[in-house]
Structure 1
Amino acid sequence: MRSILLTGCSSGIGYDAARTLKSRGWRVFATCRQQGDCDRLIAEGFESFPLDYASEDSIAAAVEETLSRTGGTLDALFNNGAFACPGAVEDLPRGALREIFETNLFGWHDLTCRLIPTFRAQGHGRIIQCSSVLGLVGAKWRGAYVATKHALEGLTDVMRLEMEGTGIDLILIEPGPVATRIRANAIPHFEKWIDWENSARRDDYAALLDRLYKPQAKKDRWELPPSAVTAKLIHALDAPRPRARYYVTVPTHVAGFLRRLLPTRLLDRAIAKG
């Protein structure tokens, strides 16, 4: 039985991945930030315990718990848990960037590095990072999230080069619009950090507030379910030689193509038009 540690399993991509891999015979360690979500997963038959990317102690405890249960082995890691803090870049205070990088990048890096010695000792391991179309291109009002995903892309690319010949594979999955709770989960971070009423962009915030607080009247035309990400994850886990990147949605394929094809100013115009 192969084993995998997954993060961000309370809902969305992580939850779907945990359920699907368990059904396919994997031993799944489905972690969540909150103990209450772990308790719900345990009631569903999962092995679950807390892992909070913002806490070094939590990461260390989760790694120790995982390896104690497996006898010191692990086949794969799926870094997935993340959040967004929407707002104009000029309105992002230092604390907002520090907080989002702690979870979306530093915690991922910490967890990954704590497991690399295990992968090295056994001669194999797959580290799969759930990035985003926003790791390929930028988008207005999403600067904090974009910054973390661009940093993740660069760090993963370098680690992939450095791990050549070790048996450890570094893989990026690039979703686009996927049906998750990321928009709803962004609201507390927006309210905590963005003083939009005193912003020079105050009038421009109307569209962002509308997207954040109003229920979606209809599904995004390109939106896919979390299972679309899980399908790419399965390929990344099972392929003898996995790809370095897996694009998931149509917008991701288009963004990847246009980034290679267009000069920056033309790419800016294309992104602005949606």
Structure 2
Amino acid sequence: MSRKSILITGCSSGIGYDAAYAMRDAGWLVFASCRREEDCEHLRSEGFISPRIDYADPESIVNGLSEVLEATDGTLDALFNNGAFATPGAVEDLPRGALQEIFETNVFGVHELTTLALQIMRAQGHGRIVNCSSVLGFVAAPWRGAYVASKFALEGLTDTLRIEMSDTDIKVILIAPGPIGTSFRQNSIPQFERWVDWENSARAEQYRNSLLKRLYEDAGPTKFELPPSSVSRVLLRALNARNPRARYRVTAVTRAMAVLRRLLPTRAMDAILSRG
């Protein structure tokens, strides 16, 4: 095919939605996948090929990738694993099921789609896997334990895969955004309400004074927040670079935290992060 192809997950809004448009504008053949069929229909109305891929549904992963390969005669130049969600709450209040569910999407489903895409890329002799991590993929923060754990796991898998694929022409890349203006916070509220019994928690008062306000009160963008297009620009650089970097950090917060993590002892870093 004359155009390079990319499969992007989590395109219903935010980073994935912006990336789909940015890549299409750059001349790529974009497969903009979503978890829900109604979101796929919306993207199809905007001219995208939008296979339904839900990381927690193995059948949808296989079927969605098959739809991509049917349209490209069996090739795929790049995969951007962007889909993910958060389950806010103190670690001591997270039941086993909450962790199982977030890992199904943020880790296990990403891994399954990646391994299937790698078979295609090995056969064609090239490809790029780009995984969307987070500043919370290398530093922790209160109330975000489930998401932190999943992104730490994703970074470990990605780093290992990058080393293992170094003898091929398949490049494995991490993008780590910090605060990005999306509906990610709002989308986490149903997970919080489903899994966390905060009223019976030993930290009930802290929930009232801290997390509940952050979740339910829209304070608007922070001074450090960037739009989703900032991630799309980095994605384009990572895909076009002859020798892409292992990690691309987006936002000043992410870059600052990377520096502090290298320089500060753990106790000092904990003191900073405990402020939320």
Match for residue 207 of structure 2? 205
Aligned-pair CA distance for 1:142: 0.1
Q: 194, 197, 207: which one pairs with 2:196?
A: 194
Deviation track 1:104-129 (CA, whole Å, cap 9, x = no partner) reads 00000000001111100111100000
Q: Output the TM-score relative to the length of structure 2.
A: 0.98
Between 1:151-160 and 1:264-273, the stretch displaced more is 264-273
Aligned residue for 1:117, secondary structure, equals helix
Aligned-pair CA distance for 1:273: 4.0
Say what the alpha-carbon RMSD is for the aligned residues.
Answer: 0.8
Q: Equivalent pairs: percent with the same residue?
A: 60
Match for residue 93 of structure 1? 95
Could you tell me how far apart the structure 1 residues matched to 2:275 and 2:190 are?
28
Aligned-pair CA distance for 1:214: 1.3
Match for residue 217 of structure 2? 214
Match for residue 232 of structure 2? 230
Deviation track 1:120-142 (CA, whole Å, cap 9, x = no partner) reads 01111000000000001000000
Match for residue 43 of structure 2? 41
Deviation track 1:25-84 (CA, whole Å, cap 9, x = no partner) reads 100000001111111111111111210000000101011111111010000000001000
Task: Output aligned runs, 1:162-201, within 5 Å.
Answer: 162-201=164-203
Aligned residue for 2:187, secondary structure, equals helix
Deviation track 1:168-198 (CA, whole Å, cap 9, x = no partner) reads 1110001000011110000110000000000
Aligned residue for 2:166, secondary structure, equals coil
Match for residue 110 of structure 1? 112
**Counterpart code for 1:132:** S
Aligned-pair CA distance for 1:3: 0.2
Structure 2 residue 108 is the aligned partner of structure 1 residue 122: no
Report if aligned partners of 2:51, 2:68 keep a CA contact under 8 Å in 1. Answer: no
**Counterpart code for 1:212:** L
Could you tell me how far apart the structure 2 residues matched to 1:175 and 1:169 are?
19
**Counterpart code for 2:107:** L
Q: 67, 75, 79: which one pairs with 2:81?
A: 79
Match for residue 7 of structure 2? 5
Match for residue 262 of structure 1? 264
Match for residue 20 of structure 1? 22
Report if aligned partners of 2:10, 2:82 keep a CA contact under 8 Å in 1. Answer: yes
Report if aligned partners of 2:142, 2:273 keep a CA contact under 8 Å in 1. Answer: no
**Counterpart code for 1:124:** H
Could you tell me how far apart the structure 1 residues matched to 2:275 and 2:215 are?
20
Aligned-pair CA distance for 1:272: 2.6
Deviation track 1:135-158 (CA, whole Å, cap 9, x = no partner) reads 010000000000000000111000
Aligned-pair CA distance for 1:270: 2.0
Match for residue 61 of structure 2? 59
Report if aligned partners of 2:103, 2:150 keep a CA contact under 8 Å in 1. Answer: yes
Any stretches of 5+ residues in structure 2 without a counterpart? Answer: none
Q: Which 4+ residue blocks in structure 1 deviate beyond 2 angstroms?
A: none
Q: Output the TM-score relative to the length of structure 1.
A: 0.98
